[in-house]
Structure 1
Amino acid sequence: MEKMVLVIGAGDAIGSAIMRAFADKEYVVCGARRGGEKLEPLVEELRAAGKQAYGFSCDARKEEQIEDLFAQIEANIGPLDCVVFNVGANVPMTILDTDTRKFFKIWEMATFAGFLTGREAARVMTKRRQGSIIFTGATASMRGAAGFGAFASAKGALRNMVQSLAREMGPQNIHVAHVVIDAAVDTDWIKGMLPDYEERKANDGIVNPDDLAQNYVMLHEQPRSAWTFEMDIRPWNEKW
C-alpha cells in the first residue's frame, strides 16, 4: 500500500521542503495552503520527477474546510500515514500595538488551526491505530521575546495542546511530535531581515529548509520503542 503524507501550511520554504523530502522517499504527498494555486509549480515539479503529488486550497482556521480536506483525501486519494501542521503566524509587534483583531488572528493561525488539524488527523488515524502527527514550533513555543507577545502566546498554547494530544494518542500507536525551530530559516523574509544574511548562509548559520525537512521524515519513520516528542533544531553555531 502506498504511504501518504499531508502538509498543512505548505508554504514556499519549510512546507514545500517537507513535501519534497517525503516525495523523495516515495510517499504520495498532499499539500494545502490558503492559496492552493501557489502549489501548482511544486506539484508539477514533483510529478515531472515521477512522484505523486496533489495541491489543495484550505484555510486551516476554518473547521468545515479542514474537515472537507481530510474527507476528500481519505476518500479519493488514500489513507494518511502522516500529517504535518506547518502554518506560520510570526507577526512581530509590541503588546501596545497589538489590537484584539491581530491577537485573535495569530491565535487562530498558530493554535486553533493546529487543534483542528490535530483533531482531524487523530480521528482518521485512531480508526487504523497507526500514523504520525507532527507540528512545527518555534523559539516562541518556549519563551516570549519582546515584540512577540501574541505569537509566543499562540505558539506556547499550541505546544501544550500537542503535549496533551501526544499523551492521548501514544497508547493508540499514533506518534505525535513537536519540532522547535530555534533559529532563522532560509526564507525570503529572513533574507530581507538579516544584514549579515550572506555571511551566515555561507557559514551554515541559517537553517536550510531541505536539511530541516529530513527531520520530519525521520520523526515519522522512528520505531515506536524510541519515539521523540520534541526536537530542537538550530545551526551548529546558534546560541541557545
Structure 2
Amino acid sequence: MSKSIAIIAGVGPGTGAAIARQFASNYPVVLLSRKPENYEPLVKELKDAGKDAFGVSTDVSDSSSVKSCIEAVKKQYGNDVKAAAAIYNASGGFVRKPFLELTEADLEGSWAGTVKGAFNFTQAVLPLLTPASASATPPKESHGPPTLIFTGATASVKGSANFSIFAAPKFAVRAMSQSLAREYGPKGVHVAHAIIDGVIDIPRTKEWALPEGGKIRPEGIAEAYWWLHGQDRTGVDLGGGLEAGNREVVRRE
C-alpha cells in the first residue's frame, strides 16, 4: 500500500508553507493552490531537503478542479493512496468594509473561497481519510489518527464591526467542522477547527504596526497542528468547553 500523505489546501508563503514543512517531516505532502507560483518554490525547497512534495494547481471553490486534483494525487501516489492528514487553510480573502459598502461580489467571493471551498475539499479528502474501521490502528509511519483540520480565525466566534462578510463564512466553516466531528469522529477521523486568535506574521502583515511579539508565528501554528494530529483521542480540549473531536486552538491576549 502507498505511504500515507498529508494534503494541504491554501499553500502560500506564510501559514500554509509552515504547515507543509512541519508535516513533510513525516509524510509526502501534497500542496494545493490556485497559482503554481504559490507552491512551486516550496516544492523545490522540500525536494532539495530530501522530502517528498507534490504541488497541484487547484481552485477549491470549483468541484471539478478539486476532483481533477484528487485524480492527479492518485496518479502520483497510487489509487490506494490514503491521507494521514488533510488541512484546509484556504480562505475567500480578507474583506473589511462597512456593511453598506459591501457588494454581492464581495459576498460571493468570500463564501466561495471559504465555505464552498471547505465543502469541496472535505468531500474529496474524506474517502482518503476514513479508515476501514474506527478502531483501526494508524499505519506505522503515521504520527496520529486520520486528521482533518480547518484553519479558523477570531472571526469564527466574534463578528467585529466591518468584518461581517469575513465573519459569516468563518462561522459557517466552524459549524461545518462541528457537524463533521460528530459524524466522522465515531468512524475514526479526528476533526479539529483551529481558531487563530490574532494577527499572523506573514508577508501581507509585515507593515502592520504591533508591539514586539504581537504577531503569531506561522511555525507556531504548524506545531500546534502537528500536536493536534497526534493528540490522544481521550485528551482534553485546548479551547475548553467543546466536546472531544472538535478541538480549538485559541490564542488569548
Task: Classify the secondary structure of the residue corresponding to 1:30.
Answer: strand
Distance in 2 (CA, whole Å) between partners of 1:124 and 1:20 is 21
Q: Give the whole-Å Cα distance in 2 for the aligned partners of 1:152 and 1:145.
A: 8
Distance 1:167 1:214 in 2: 25
Are 1:105 and 2:109 counterparts?
yes
Aligned partner of 1:119 in structure 2 is 123
Query: In the aligned structure 2, how far is the partner of 1:96 from the partner of 1:173?
Result: 45
Question: 2:174 maps to which residue?
Answer: 159
Whether the 8 Å contact between 1:74 and 1:80 is mirrored in structure 2 is: no
Shift of 1:127: 5.7
Asked whether the 8 Å contact 2:147–2:191 carries over to 1, the reply is yes
Partner of 1:195: 209
Aligned CA distance change for structure 1 residues 71 and 127 (closer, same or farther; 3 Å): farther
| Residue 225 (structure 1) aligned with residue 234 (structure 2) | yes
Amino acid of the residue matched to residue 229 of structure 1?
N
Residue 66 of structure 1 corresponds to which residue in structure 2? 66
Q: Does 1:41 align with 2:58?
A: no
**Shift of residue 92, structure 1, vs aligned partner:** 1.2
CA contact under 8 A between 2:185 and 2:245: conserved in structure 1?
A: no
Which whole-Å CA distance do the structure 2 matches of 1:23 and 1:68 have between them?
Answer: 23
Q: 1:29 and 1:233 mapped to 2: Cα distance? A: 26
> 2:95 maps to what in 1?
91
1:228 deviates by 5.2
- How far 1:75 sits from its partner (Å)? 4.2
What TM-score comes out, normalization by structure 2 length?
A: 0.85
Please identify, of 141-150 and 126-135, the stretch whose mean Cα deviation from structure 2 is larger: 126-135
Show structure 1 runs of 4+ deviating over 6 A: none
Task: Give the superposed CA RMSD.
Answer: 1.7
Contact residue 30 and residue 56 of structure 1 kept, 8 A: yes
What is the match of residue 212 of structure 1?
Answer: 221
Deviations 1:90-147 (A, max 9, x none): 2211211110111111011111111111122223323644611110000000010111
What is the aligned-residue identity percentage?
32
* SS at structure 2 position matched to 1:195: coil
Q: Which runs of 5+ in 2 are unaligned?
A: 134-144, 236-243
How many angstroms apart in 2 are the aligned matches of 1:95 and 1:230? 31
1:231 deviation in Å?
A: 2.0
Moved more, 9-18 or 69-78: 69-78
Q: Secondary structure at the match of 1:177?
A: strand
Q: Deviations over 1:24-52 (max 9, x none)?
A: 2x211110001023311111111111111
Partner of 2:54: 54
**Helix, strand or coil: the match of 1:87?**
coil
Name the SS of the counterpart of 2:24 in structure 1. helix
Q: TM-score, normalised by structure 1?
A: 0.89
* Partner of residue 76, structure 1: 76
8 A contact 2:182–2:245 mirrored in 1: no
Q: Is the 8 A contact 2:6 2:84 kept in 1?
A: yes
8 Å CA contact retained: 2:177, 2:246? no
- 8 A Cα contact 1:14 1:213, kept in partner: yes
2:131 and 2:188 in contact (8 A); partners too: no
Unaligned 5+ segments in structure 1 are none
1 CA distance for matches of 2:16 and 2:232? 24
- 2:31 counterpart SS class: strand
